[in-house]
Amino acid sequence: MARMKTIALSILLAATAFAGDPAVQSNVVYGMYSGAALLMDVHRPTNPNGFGIIYVSGSGWTSPMAYSAAPLKSNDQSLQYAKPLVAAGYTVFALNHRSLPRFHYPAAVEDVQRAVRFVRRSAANFGIQPDRIGASGGSSGGHLVGMLGTLDGKGNPDDFDPVERESAKVQCVVARAAPINFFRMRTAGVAFLGMGAPAGDDPDATKSLEYRTYHAASPIFHVSPDDPPFLLMHGDKDESVPFAQSEEMEKALKAAGVPVKLIRIEGAGHGPTFPGAGNPPDYLGEMVAWFNRYLAGKR
């Protein structure tokens, strides 16, 4: 009962803090983990369109361990991608999540799901529609929003925490340079998943904990016809997350009948500004247009 009161109070405080209509409401608590607060920044538009977007920056699923470390939610990447969305009327929720080296999978996935549930539960306070929430992110953040789009994300109707009864499924996704298959990115898998890759020549590999974890953590294996529209953006010279990852995701989504578009950015390496691209497209404009079409329903 005390925990429920605490959750209700945090939602009330978030709503009260918006009374002055600041451009950014910092450090809204969307959950607690062993006494540590999970935080988000809420970027509010001047002319809201009634739709919310979860934003997760790329970080290699990692954050510095110093007490004075800058938070993921307010880094340059978050601001770069939030700005055009806010200008278009979207309310943007930029997140912190539990990270390496202290926390391995599934901590980050659980946290971003919790954030969606929290935003959905308190949608009226944020002035958005609870059944139309989008998600955008790049690199490791792209992986996490990919999981938000492909996992069922069903809430537990019997949970004592009303936030946990909500769905964590989002209704539109924009993912930049997203890892989607850890079997093909084994070095990243060892770090994020906290275990070595399953042996490829082991006839019982599918029974191992390693195989089951690599499979469960990869968005590609959760694709189904009820998934939301996906916009994928990826540099074809990316040496951190191979372009083939997005090609594989595009193929799987098409096979499932899910609306999908892959923007190939020629000559671009890995990073939020697509470094190395000689003449990159308006990728921020493409992101906004995707949400306008498939989340807000503007044609």
CATH number for position 144: 3.40.50.1820
Residue 256: domain span: 2-181+218-294
Q: Is residue 193 a part of any domain in this protein?
A: no
Q: Minimal CA–CA distance to 264: which of 185, 184, 176, 192? A: 176
The DSSP output letter for 3 is H
- Give the per-residue SS3 of 152-169: CCCCCCCCCCHHHHCCCC
Q: Is residue 267 a part of any domain in this protein?
A: yes
- The residues that bridge with 40 in the sheet, in sequence order, are 28, 95
pTM reported for the whole predicted model: 0.92
Q: Minimal CA–CA distance to 260: which of 223, 297, 298? A: 223
Q: Is residue 9 a part of any domain in this protein?
A: yes
Q: Minimal CA–CA distance to 188: which of 175, 201, 197? A: 197
Q: For residue 101, is the peptide bond before it cis, meaning its omega torsion is within 30 degrees of 0?
A: yes
SS3 69: coil
Residues 206 and 248 sit within 8 Å (Cβ to Cβ): no
Residues 57 and 78 sit within 8 Å (Cβ to Cβ): yes
Q: Is residue 188 a part of any domain in this protein?
A: no
Q: Is residue 245 a part of any domain in this protein?
A: yes
The pLDDT value given to residue 18:
41
Q: Is residue 203 a part of any domain in this protein?
A: no
Instruction: Give the Å distances, CA to CA, from 32 to 10, 13, 98, 118.
Output: 11, 15, 11, 12
The pLDDT value given to residue 8:
46
Q: Is residue 155 a part of any domain in this protein?
A: yes
Could you state, in chain order, the average pLDDT of each consecutive group of 10 residues for the chain (299 residues)? 46 41 86 97 97 98 95 95 98 98 97 98 98 98 98 97 98 98 94 87 76 95 98 98 98 98 98 95 98 88
Q: Is residue 190 a part of any domain in this protein?
A: no
238-272 as b/e, with b when 16 or more CB fall inside 10 Å?
A: bebbbbebbbebbebbeeeebebebbebeebbbbb
The total number of structural domains that make up the chain: 1
- The residues that bridge with 95 in the sheet, in sequence order, are 40
